[in-house]
Amino acid sequence: MKTLNRKQFDLPKYTTRALQFGEGNFLRGFLDWQIEKLNRTTNLDMGIAVVRPIDSDFPALLNAQDCLYTNIIRGLDENNQPVEETTIISSINTEIPLYQDYDAFLALAEDANIKFIFSNTTEAGIEFNAKDSFSDSPPSTFPAKLTQWLARRYLVLENNNLEGLYIIPCELIDYNGEKLKQVILQYIDLWRLDESFRVWVEQKITFCSTLVDRIVTGHPREELPSLEEKVGYHDQFMVTAEYFYLFVIQGPKDLIKDLKLEGQNLNIKIVEDIKPYKERKVAILNGAHTAMVPVAYMSGLNTVGEAMNCRLISQFVENLIDEEIIPVLSLPKDELSQFAHDVIKRFKNPYIKHQLTSISLNSMAKWKTRILPQLIANTEITGSAPKLMSLAFAAQILFYRGIRNDQAIPLNDQENWLLFFKQSWSDVDNGKLSLNELVEKICANENHWEFNLNALPLFTEQVTGFLQEMLHEGVASVLSKELGA
């Protein structure tokens, strides 16, 4: 079987117009796939120079396959039908191992064709280290390396009517573009770089904050032989991802023209503020995930797919989103409903085996950020705590009892919560604490919630009532009764 490379496949090569920090699965399954789509359907002509930002020679460089790789999209389409789409990505021109060839990385700064910089260096990547020096080759952090690159570009090209750049980070950090700009300016101050360079960075470079959303399942090791048999070639860089994706960029409308987005059927949104989209994702996608986990798991299910194939759990999730989450969010209802519809399809994706216990990590913190804002807003509107959120919270407390069908549950949360629940449930079992007192103690933890949840009308009473019923009848029975199913 032949190996994927440009000798075997006659594919277009594009002008290098983008620098990309990060060679990992996410950018290749998300960003580079979108650029490939635009290259094929418009005159974008955007080739990518990938920079490996870490000191590692594993896996091999993309150069081993002339920077070609296969992207396989799998999931449920708009008609709820299973879909599998295979694309050879040819938009990457080179991968530079930064720690082995820093000069090659800096040399790219002299290429006037480069107009875009993308990055995904993990949540810890955008940081400042006061020990970094301008003479380091390389310095320790991604922003320090980028500051050196920008300084080289300014030095070499400032007399060439130097145009600005778009810098579009994809790290999962709130307002990541603003954060990256702030850190770069810190390095300019630390290194006492020329004031005219600072002005250029502030005035000519557009830092765009983003919201990125796609589950990239990565390199399909276990399926690789069968997938290679299907495509007819070897590919050590093959990557798989879900059907759904969303790329929200907070930036000027000029991006629509510069990325050739006009008339393109891509889920890329250029907006003035990403905040409503972040709130939508956290509330609907993450909130529904977090609420579903204890309800489904304590009903005897183990994965998101199993849960969504259960009529009862599926109805619970849909009702929760439609009745208790969407009404308190700020985006237009049709946008929220479409996003919710997409979320349900993603949860039902037969190609993704998402363990409920893995989602349960740090559930108490997730409840605070993902569900509590909607719970409070809902209560303020209706005058009483929403029923399904109350039920889910009761199931969460039961989950932290640590037992399902006489088997221990692998609990994974902050130590203080684990100790609290262990002692509190022991006290309940020994008759030292009533269920109502247990719920009141949890709700009264203002150090965690920053608010006494007992003050929410009917919340404590509803949670206690659901918890009592769950202990006697089981979660599935209580849920069925509440849904009228």
Q: Given the structure tokens 């930002």, which residue do they identify?
A: 53
**Closest among 139, 273, 257, 123 to 209, alpha carbons compared:** 273
**CA 151 to chain centroid:** 31
**What is the C-alpha separation between 171 and 126, in angstroms, rounded?**
8
d(CA 291, CA 460): 17
Q: What is the pTM of this model?
A: 0.85
In sequence order, the 6+-apart residues with CB closer than 8 A to the CB of 274 are 175, 209, 210, 211, 248, 249, 250
Q: How confident is the model at residue 101 (pLDDT cuts 50, 70, 90)?
A: very high
Cα 66 to Cα 90: distance, rounded to the nearest angstrom: 9
208 has pLDDT over 90: yes
Q: Are strands 16-21 and 47-52 parallel, antiparallel or unpaired?
A: parallel
Q: What is the pLDDT of residue 253?
A: 98
Task: Identify whether the C-beta of residue 226 lies closer than 8 Å to the C-beta of residue 15.
Answer: no
pLDDT of residue 108 exceeding 90, the answer is yes
- Owner of token pair 């759904």: 244
- Yes or no: say if 467 and 441 are a contact pair by the CB < 8 Å rule: no
Domain ranges of the chain: 16-271, 275-483
pLDDT reported for residue 418? 96
Residue 203 parent element (H or E): helix 195-204
Give the residue carrying structure tokens 């399954």. 29
pLDDT digits (tens, 9 = 90+) for 304-321: 999 999 999 999 999 999
Interior angle at CA 199, CA 196 and CA 203, nearest 5: 145
For 75, 206, 269, 297, 426, the CA distances from 252, given in Å and listed in that order, are 32, 9, 11, 45, 57
Three-state DSSP class for residue 300: coil
Please write the tens of the pLDDT for every residue from 405-464. 999 999 999 999 999 999 999 999 999 999 999 999 999 999 999 999 999 999 999 999
**Alpha-carbon gap, residue 362 to 250, rounded angstroms:** 30
**Continuous H helices in 248-329:** 254-258, 275-280, 287-297, 304-309, 311-319
Q: What is the pLDDT of residues 158-198, one digit of tens each?
A: 767 777 899 999 998 889 999 999 999 999 999 999 999 99
d(CA 150, CA 135): 14
Q: What is the mean pLDDT of the chain?
A: 95
Query: What are the two backbone dihedrals, phi and then psi, of residue 304, each rounded to the nearest 5 degrees?
Result: -60, -40
Strands 407-408 and 403-404: antiparallel
The whole-angstrom separation of Cα 460 and Cα 93 is: 59
The residues pairing with 71 across neighbouring beta strands, listed in sequence order, are 87, 239
Q: How far is CA 365 from the centre of its chain?
A: 17
One-letter amino acid for residue 381 of the chain: I
Where in 4-91 does DSSP place strands (E)? 16-21, 47-52, 69-76, 82-89
Among residues 94, 78, 128, the alpha carbon closest in space to that of 338 is found at: 78
CATH number, span 16-271: 3.40.50.720
Radius of gyration, alpha carbons of the chain? 25
Residue 176, token pair as written in the block: 């990541």
Strand partners, 234: 3
Residues in CB range of 5: below 8 A, 6 or more apart: 65, 66, 68
Class for the domain spanning 275-483: mainly alpha
Residue 26 has pLDDT above 90, yes or no: yes
